[in-house]
Amino acid sequence: MSSREFSSSRKRWRTFPVDCFAMCGDCVEKEYPNRGNTCLENGSFLLNFTGCAVCNKRDFMLITNKSSKEEDGEEIVTYDHLCKNCHHVIARHEYTFSIMDEFQEYTMLCLLCGKAEDTISILPDDPRQMTLLF
């Protein structure tokens, strides 16, 4: 796919090449919405999907090219969101998980699902939540 494509039924739409994959900015309501600490290892954020810019249908999506690898103690899960009807690539999803010291760290980056990060203590009592007693 090129970095720009044209659809006769819609305006010129934006694509974002990421690691040789193009993602479509016209298929989503908001590009990379801030999702706070909601990190998705799988699935799709359908509320942000406006419909496919190629076939103009708003339907469920396919998840393809899913891969999981471990690199330097970090688990990385990637997959593509595709239009169920015409297989247009809507977005590339990346989720990471790692353990740093006493915390589990999660991140997500996806044009459709958004960007998010979360840190959770692996201890029974989260040291960040403890108050000092004097």
Predicted local distance difference test score (pLDDT) of residue 130? 65
Q: How many CB atoms lie within 10 A of CB 65?
A: 12
Predicted local distance difference test score (pLDDT) of residue 80? 95
CB 52 within 8 A of CB 46: no
Dihedral through CA 21, CA 25, CA 31, CA 32, nearest 10?
Answer: -10
Over residues 68-98, the pLDDT tens digits come to 999 888 999 999 999 999 999 999 999 999 9
- Stretches where the chain sits below pLDDT 70 are 1-23, 126-128, 130-134
CB 107 within 8 A of CB 100: no
Whole-structure pTM value: 0.75
Q: Which domains does the chain have, with CATH numbers?
A: 25-121 (2.60.40.4240)
